[in-house]
Amino acid sequence: MSFLRERFKPNGGPDGGNGGRGGSVIFEAVTNLQTLADLEYMHQIKGENGDHGKGAARNGAAGKDKIINVPCGTVIYDLATGEGCADLVEPGDRFVAARGGRGGRGNRYFASSSRKAPRFCEQGESGEEVMLRLELSLIADVGLVGLPNVGKSSILAAISNAQPKIANYPFTTLSPNLGVLNTGDERIVIADIPGLIEGAHENRGLGLDFLRHVDRTRLLIHVLSLESGDYDSILNDFEVVRREMQEYDEKLPQRPYFVVGNKSDEIDDDALKTLSTSLREHFAAIGTRFLLTSALTEDGIPELYKEITKFAALHPRPQSNVRLFAMEEKLPEKMPLRKRAKIQIIALHGGGYRVLHTQLEKAVERYDFSQEENVARFVRLLRKHKVEELLEAAGAVSGDSVAIGYKEFNFYPDYYPSEEYDSENEEDSE
């Protein structure tokens, strides 16, 4: 609230500027991040406050938006409802999670022919507040899948530039490792996805950590360990993986795939020849290619490299259908003009009443009740909506506590004839 005071202009009129809007919170997908680890301890994220309005009709600057970088493939859910809000796939994809509140209005805004010198201003509105859950669903061209400890990480290290942790015990890979295969024409991203056990679709073992990251892959490579040398056991391992994928998503088994028999160095040559022939015939019968490899000695790795490169050339990366769900921009809700919502009066269990009405709740948030004219404006607004009559009809008596928004008042009815309502000066129709 400000008035112009210059030489030869002792009563220059109101010149208080409006406050700036608050900054929004925005998530943006970038390529230089691979995990959500940076957000692990960021439990509360706020946009910047807008600046206050100033004299000489100067409006406050808008608050800076808070931009949070996340890896491509981040899926954002509403924590309360579980509904998907955004699927940030391509670099530069943005999601406005919470919009900043509108800035308050200075007393210059309220000047009119009938109100020459308003001695009140408004506070800014609170910004949006949401609770979100973020998940990472990796975007990879090729996914290495299989049971724990079949050598997926070793194969990834052999065919790409990745350096995953490799050890001879289950669940070495607790989070997906990414490798890049550079063919010259394109960069093929390969994901070593955590192993799974039977019942993975019910989140046993590392089940959902495995299955969630398979959603976006173009090609699946089933890795089988030949270490046991038992034909039936190896096929059973393959069926376990296929069955869990079917239970998780019926479309996953239809995705292009081929099979790699790894750890060929663990069995002798005669047994390997018999086993590989039987496996190759079995998979050929169902229309699937079978490759024999050893990540340790790199036998068969060049053939695997060629097969992946060939597939990538035949199946270009899709651009339009990789999202788990369509992104829809959340627009701020607007109340229809000249449509007045009904007021609800709720009797509280501990005594007192609560008034539910969008316009009244916003007025409580904006009005600075330390300014007498704002108090008078609010009283006029209550009379305009006949709140006192509605409270008495609900059983309220003098002295009862009445809550509107986040403020509480004591109820002391004071009727005025309807012709005294200053509706001309009531500018708060939203």
Say what the pLDDT of residue 28 is. Answer: 92
Q: Which of 76, 65, 68 is nearest to 99 (CA)?
A: 65
Say what the pLDDT of residue 408 is. Answer: 87
Helix axes 301-314, 152-159, angle to 10 degrees: 80
Query: Above pLDDT 70, what percent of the chain?
Result: 79
pTM for the full predicted model: 0.59
Residue 173: pLDDT band with limits 50, 70, 90: very low
Strands 142-145 and 187-192: parallel
CA-to-CA distance for 202 and 351, rounded, in angstroms? 48
**Per-residue pLDDT reduced to its tens digit, 179-216:** 777 776 667 778 777 655 444 334 444 444 556 666 66
The overall average pLDDT reported for the chain is: 78
104-118, 316-330, 340-354, 416-430: least confident range:
416-430
**Per-residue pLDDT reduced to its tens digit, 70-118:** 988 788 888 888 888 888 888 888 899 999 988 989 888 888 888 888 8
Q: Which of 95, 82, 98 is nearest to 29 (CA)?
A: 95
Mean pLDDT of 47-56: 88
- The DSSP result for 93-110, as a single string, is -EEEEEPPPPPPPPGGGG
CA-to-CA distance for 46 and 60, rounded, in angstroms? 19
**Per-residue pLDDT reduced to its tens digit, 4-44:** 877 777 777 888 889 999 999 999 988 777 677 788 788 89
355 contacts: CB under 8 Å, gap ≥ 6: 343, 344, 345, 387, 391, 402, 403, 404
Q: Which of 307, 144, 148 is nearest to 225 (CA)?
A: 148
